[in-house]
Amino acid sequence: MTTPVIPETAFMPSAPPLSAPNRVDTTVDVARGAAAGAVAGIAASAAMNGFQTLVIPVFRPDGGGIPATEKAADRASMLATGYRLGNADRAVGGEAVHYIVGALTGSLYGAMAEVRPGVTRWRGLALGLAAATLVDQIAVPLTGLARPPWRYTVRTHLYGYASHLVFGFVTEAVRKVLRERLARRALPSRDAITLDDIAVPLLLGLANGQRTFTPPAAVTIAAAGSGLGLQGTPLALLGSKWTGALMSAAAIGEYVADKQPGIPARISPPGLAGRAIGGALSGAAAARPGKSWLAAGLGAAGAVAGAYVSYRVRMRLASALGRDRPVAFAEDALSLAGAAAVAGYAAMRQKQRDRDPAPLAA
């Protein structure tokens, strides 16, 4: 009888599957890369504007009338309000579209760079080539914001590609600097104040300036799912699913009440007090151990500042559009998305701390 041969690999331990903490690490890296990319995209958009101003006499591109960014802003205004923009507002809207697209492109690029470093090849020039081809040559004409590519001169195409090469190069340069600076801050002492210690409560506070209950609701939902390290603290009640449900109901009620006439302004003393309390509560709950009081102060300050800024912006936009309701809905979405993103990030950071008690990078 033949003795069966058992391969040596049968006794070798199999590679462990990717653990949840590793997936959390990757998600945090992607989020941080996206944030760095967004900042880099805004800087690169400004550099692109400056470059275009300098080289227009050299390339003499065929403008073809109203810029595509202004057409996009006008179309967005028509969809949101039913009104077209005036010449002055259209120019401002076009600049806003330019920077928003730059920030979104940079954010996507920064996120991809964390998991696919190959996208950063040629010092970001590959990004510029891709953006010029996919956006200028394909997406913009397909949406009707520009003429087909073959109806532009060669000089115009060279001008567009050169501008986007500048955008890609600057985006990668700024993104790389931001990520390297964060890496050099690795493993601070537990008593050190990190970037997260400031940014997380401040951003939650700014969102609280728009809506009193939305950031607390986002934080309580995150706490109920991951704990946020609140067990055994005075804020442990926020980890209850019932607290999350109550806060969510309050947030929904505020969305409805905000659209009703006669609601007191958010910058009135009661409105500011409620937002400051909500910002302090959200900031403290999302803070890492030992930084609750700092986070509470930053959250409250951010809420007061956010209330004043968002109030002025809303009044200006509502006056320009002639209607308040579209601005109110946009503000709802901004506060909800921002609070959910920051609370989710804080929850992921807490999972890292639960796995590794060593202090984490800023």
pLDDT tens track for 311-342: 988 888 888 777 888 889 989 999 999 999 89
pLDDT tens track for 152-197: 888 889 999 999 999 999 999 999 998 877 666 555 555 567 777 8
109 has pLDDT over 90: yes
Element (H, E) at 285: helix 269-286
> In which region does residue 136 sit, left (phi positive, over 0), alpha (psi from -120 to 50) or beta (all else)?
alpha
210 has pLDDT over 50: yes
State the pLDDT confidence band at 10, using cuts at 50, 70 and 90.
very low
Q: Which residue has the higher pLDDT, 182 or 298?
A: 298
Element (H, E) at 126: helix 125-131
Q: What are the residue ranges spanned by the domains of the chain?
A: 20-184, 195-355
pTM score above 0.85:
no
CA angle 356, 205, 229 (to 5 degrees): 25
CA distance 187 to 349: 14
Residue 326's pLDDT is: 87
